[in-house]
C-alpha cells in the first residue's frame, strides 16, 4: 500500500521531537509535556524481571535448533538403518551419503543461493500472506545455519561409517584408499571443531583460519579419497582408470557440487578503494562506491583470503553513489582500521542477505539497535517509510559523525525516529516500555533487534512475554 493511502493519524508522531546537534538529528521523547532533563543524576537500574522457564525454553529451542535436530535426527535414523543392514543402498553408497550432506551444508552458506532464496520469498509472499506464515519465512531464512550444522555433523558421521567399512574390508582395499580416508576424516573433524561456538565467538581469527584453510585441505582430500575409492576395483584388485567409469559415480558429482558452491563466492572477491572517516576513536566509517538494497551485509579484509569480517551495510538505495559500513573497535582488525586506515580493502562484491532483508514481507516494523548495530538497521528505515528505528544510546553525532547522522536526518522523519541520549536523560531507558508503546502506536507487525548478547537476550525475553513478534541477533551455535 502506498504511503499516502494510510489514514492521517497513522502518520502521527510516535514521540514529539526536539533538535540535537548541528546536523539537526531528531531526538524524540516519550512524553510531549515533559521536557528532557539536563544533567539528571543517573537512576539506579531497575532489577531485571526474570522470564518464565517456558519463554526461556522457546527462545533456546529456536528454529536453528529445530532445523538442526530435524536434519541430524533424519540422518542418524538413516545411518542406523544402514549400519544394521536394513538399508542396503545407503550402506553401499555411504560415501555418497557423506558428501551429499556436505554438499547441502555448503549450499546453505552460499551467498548466491541465499540471495536467490531471499528474493524468492520476498517477491512471492510480501504483505498479502498471513502474518504467521511470513514470520515463519523470516525465521527459517534467518536460521538456515541449523541445516548447515546438522548436515555437517551428519556428513562427518556418514564419513566415519565409510572409513570404518573401508577398514573392515582392508584385505581387498588399497592402502592409499585407507590412508586418504583417515586423513579426510581428520581434516573434516578439525574443520568442524573450528566452528564450535566458543571458538567462533571468542577466537574469531582461529575460526577463520582453521575453518577455511583446513576446510580447503579437507576438500582436496575428499577429492583424492573419492577418486581413489571409485577407481580402485576391489574385485580385480586393480585400478580402473576409465574416465567414463569415474563420471558415472554419484559421489564424484556431489564433490563437484561442493567445489562449485565453495568456489563461486570467491570469484566475486575484489580489491576496492575505500574512504575511511574516523568520527571517534571507537568507530571507523568505511565508504564504498555504489548503492545497495536494504538488509545486506558485506565481508571485508585486508587480505584476499584471510580474516574476513562481516558488517551491516548502510545505503540510500541501489541508485545511491555510496554505501557505508560502521566498524566499531572490538578486536585487532577493527582497531587497525582506526589506527592505520587503509586506502583499499578486499571484499566480496556479492553481498549476503541478513534478516532485515525480509522487512519487505511486513506492512510495518521496528528496528531497534544498540552501539554499532545501527549499521545493520539504518538501510531498512532509510529505504522504507513503514519502518521506524529506535536507538537507546548516547552521543549519537559524536560517536558516528556527520555522515551517518546526516543520512538519518535526511531520510528518517521525526515520527519514525527515537534516539535516547542516556547522558542527557540521566540513565538507561526502560527499553521494553518504549518498545511496547512504539509497537502499539506504529501498528508494527514485527521487531528486528541488533544488540549485544545481554541486550539481545533481555529484549527477546521481554518481547516474547509481551506477545510482540521479534527477531534478534544471531551468534552461530
User: How do residues 339-374 score in pLDDT, each as one tens digit?
Assistant: 999 999 999 999 999 999 999 999 999 999 888 888
| 8 A C-beta contact, residue 401 and residue 410 | no
Give 158: exposed, middle or buried? Use CB within 10 Å, 0-12, 13-18, 19+: buried
Q: Are residues 192 and 255 in the same domain?
A: yes
| Residue 285: CATH number of its domain | 2.40.30.10
**235 band by pLDDT with thresholds 50, 70 and 90:** confident
pLDDT at 392 over 70: no
Q: Is the pLDDT of residue 189 over 80?
A: yes
pLDDT score at 355: 93
* Confidence at 11, pLDDT banded by 50, 70, 90: very low
pLDDT at 269: 94
Grid cell in block for residue 276: 575511511
| pLDDT at position 151 | 96
- Residue-wise pLDDT tens digits, 412-459: 988 898 876 666 555 667 788 888 989 999 999 999 999 888 889 999
Q: What is the pLDDT of residue 401?
A: 86
pLDDT for position 345: 96
Q: Are residues 123 and 222 in the same domain?
A: yes
Q: Determine the Cα–Cα distance for residues 462 and 456; give it in Å rounded to an integer.
A: 10
User: pLDDT for 275-334, tens place per residue?
Assistant: 999 998 889 999 999 999 999 999 999 999 888 899 999 999 999 999 999 998 888 889
pLDDT the model gives residue 394:
56
C-alpha cell belonging to residue 153: 555433523
Q: What percent of the chain has pLDDT over 70?
A: 86
* Helix locations, 1-144, DSSP H: 53-60, 63-83, 88-92, 94-108, 111-125, 131-142
Decide if pLDDT at 107 tops 90. Answer: yes
Q: What is the pTM of this model?
A: 0.86
Which of 79-93, 149-163, 400-414 is predicted with the least confidence, judged by mean pLDDT? 400-414
Q: Write down the pLDDT at residue 24.
A: 33
C-alpha span between 122 and 182 (Å, rounded)? 44
- Does residue 13 have a pLDDT over 90? no
Residues 16 and 113 in one domain: no
Number of domains in the chain: 3
DSSP H or E run through 167: helix 145-168
Q: What is the pLDDT, as a whole number, of residue 296?
A: 95
Assess contact for 358 and 445: CB atoms under 8 A: no
Question: Edge-to-edge strands of the sheet including 417-420?
Answer: 417-420, 387-392, 365-369, 446-450, 470-471
Q: How far is CA 58 from CA 66, 345, 356, in A?
A: 11, 41, 22
82 and 209 within one domain: yes
Average pLDDT for 211-235: 92
The answer to whether residues 243 and 159 belong to one domain is: yes
Q: Are residues 439 and 374 both part of a single domain? A: yes
High-pLDDT (> 90) share of the chain, % = 63
Over residues 232-256, mean pLDDT: 90
- Average the pLDDT over 173-195 and give the result: 93
The answer to whether residue 315 is domain-embedded is: yes
Quick count: other Cβ atoms within 10 Å of Cβ 299?
18
Selected residue with higher pLDDT from 242 and 154: 154
Minimum mean pLDDT range among 76-80, 184-188, 215-219, 396-400: 396-400
Quick check: 35 pLDDT over 60? no
pLDDT band at 236 (very low <50, low <70, confident <90, very high): confident
Is 49 a member of any domain?
no
Q: What are phi and psi of 445, to 5 degrees?
A: -100, -25
Per-residue buried b or exposed e for 28-45, using 16+ beta carbons within 10 Å of the residue's own CB = bbbeeeeebeeeeeeeee
Domain extent for 24: 3-36+355-471
* 258 and 403 belong to one structural domain: no
Question: Over 70: is that where the pLDDT of 22 sits?
Answer: no
Can you give the CATH number for the domain in which 401 is found? Answer: 3.40.50.20
pLDDT of residue 48: 62
**Judgement on whether residues 88 and 214 belong to the same structural domain of the protein:** yes
Query: Quick one: pLDDT at residue 15?
Result: 37
CA distance 300 to 307: 8
Report yes or no: 416 and 385 within 8 Å, Cβ to Cβ.
yes
pLDDT given at position 474: 83
Cα 277 to Cα 114, 269, 284, 294, 402, distances in angstroms: 31, 23, 6, 22, 10
Q: Which residue has the higher pLDDT, 391 or 308?
A: 308
| Residue 204 and residue 277 in one domain | no
pLDDT at position 3 over 60: no
What does the pLDDT read at residue 395?
64
Last residue of a domain, one of 216, 243, 267: 267
Same domain as 404, residue 366: yes
42 vs 349: which has the higher pLDDT: 349
At residue 31, the pLDDT reads: 36
Tell whether the model's pLDDT for residue 4 goes beyond 70: no
State the average pLDDT for the chain. 86
Confidence of residue 134 (pLDDT cuts 50, 70, 90): very high
151, part of any domain:
yes
Return d(Cα 109, Cα 127) in angstroms, integer: 27
Q: How far apart are CA 32 and CA 409, in angstroms?
A: 21
Q: Same structural domain for residues 283 and 166?
A: no
- Please identify which residue in the block is written with the cell numbers 521494553: 432
> Could you say which of 306, 334, 353 is where a domain stops?
353
What backbone torsions phi and psi does residue 225 show, to the nearest 5 degrees? -65, -45
Tally of CB atoms within 10 A around 57? 10
Decide which of 331, 353, 375 is a domain's last residue. 353
Amino acid at each position: 500500500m502506498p504511503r499516502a493511502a494510510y489514514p492521517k493519524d497513522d502518520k502521527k508522531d510516535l514521540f514529539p521531537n526536539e533538535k540535537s546537534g548541528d546536523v539537526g538529528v531528531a531526538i524524540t521523547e516519550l512524553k510531549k509535556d515533559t521536557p528532557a532533563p539536563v544533567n539528571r543524576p543517573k537512576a539506579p537500574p531497575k532489577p531485571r524481571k526474570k522470564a518464565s522457564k517456558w519463554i526461556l525454553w522457546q527462545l533456546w529451542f529456536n528454529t536453528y535448533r529445530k532445523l538442526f535436530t530435524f536434519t541430524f535426527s533424519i540422518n542418524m535414523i538413516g545411518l542406523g538403518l544402514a549400519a544394521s543392514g536394513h538399508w542396503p543402498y545407503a550402506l553401499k553408497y555411504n560415501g555418497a551419503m557423506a558428501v551429499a550432506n556436505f554438499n547441502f551444508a555448503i549450499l546453505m552458506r552460499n551467498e548466491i543461493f541465499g540471495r536467490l532464496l531471499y528474493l524468492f520469498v520476498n517477491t512471492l509472499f510480501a504483505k498479502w500472506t498471513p502474518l504467521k506464515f511470513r514470520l515463519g519465512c523470516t525465521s527459517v531464512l534467518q536460521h538456515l545455519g541449523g541445516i548447515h550444522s546438522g548436515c555437517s555433523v551428519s556428513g562427518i558421521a556418514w564419513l566415519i561409517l565409510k572409513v570404518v567399512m573401508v577398514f573392515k574390508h582392508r584385505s581387498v582395499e588399497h592402502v592409499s584408499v585407507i590412508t586418504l580416508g583417515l586423513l579426510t576424516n581428520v581434516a573434516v573433524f578439525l574443520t568442524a571443531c573450528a566452528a564450535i561456538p566458543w571458538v567462533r565467538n571468542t577466537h574469531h581469527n582461529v575460526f577463520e583460519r582453521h575453518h577455511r584453510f583446513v576446510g580447503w585441505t579437507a576438500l582436496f582430500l575428499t577429492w583424492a579419497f573419492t577418486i581413489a575409492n571409485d577407481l580402485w576395483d576391489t574385485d580385480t584388485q586393480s585400478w580402473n582408470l576409465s574416465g567414463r567409469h569415474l563420471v558415472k559415480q554419484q559421489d564424484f558429482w556431489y564433490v563437484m557440487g561442493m567445489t562449485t558452491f565453495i568456489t563461486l563466492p570467491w570469484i566475486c572477491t575484489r580489491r576496492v578503494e575505500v574512504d575511511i572517516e574516523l568520527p571517534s576513536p571507537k568507530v571507523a566509517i568505511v565508504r564504498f562506491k555504489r548503492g545497495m538494497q536494504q538488509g545486506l551485509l558485506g565481508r571485508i579484509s585486508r587480505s584476499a583470503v584471510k580474516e574476513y569480517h562481516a558488517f551491516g551495510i548502510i545505503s540510500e538505495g541501489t541508485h545511491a553513489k555510496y554505501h557505508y559500513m560502521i566498524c566499531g573497535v572490538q578486536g585487532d582488525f577493527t582497531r587497525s582500521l582506526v589506527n592505520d586506515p587503509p586506502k583499499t580493502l578486499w571484499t566480496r562484491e556479492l553481498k549476503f542477505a541478513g534478516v532485515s532483508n525480509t522487512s519487505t514481507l511486513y506492512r510495518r516494523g521496528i528496528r531497534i539497535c544498540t552501539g554499532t548495530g545501527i549499521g545493520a538497521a539504518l538501510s531498512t528505515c532509510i529505504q522504507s517509510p513503514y519502518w521506524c528505528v529506535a536507538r537507546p544510546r548516547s552521543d549519537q553525532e559524536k560517536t558516528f559523525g556527520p555522515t551517518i547522522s546526516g543520512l538519518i536526518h535526511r531520510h528518517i522523519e521525526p515520527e519514525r525516529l527515537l534516539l535516547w541520549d542516556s547522558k542527557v536523560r540521566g540513565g538507561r531507558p526502560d527499553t521494553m516500555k518504549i518498545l511496547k508503546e512504539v509497537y502499539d502506536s506504529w501498528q508494527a507487525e514485527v521487531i528486528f533487534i541488533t544488540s549485544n548478547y545481554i541486550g539481545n537476550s533481555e529484549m527477546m525475553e521481554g518481547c516474547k512475554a509481551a506477545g510482540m513478534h521479534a527477531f534478534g541477533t544471531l551468534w552461530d551455535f
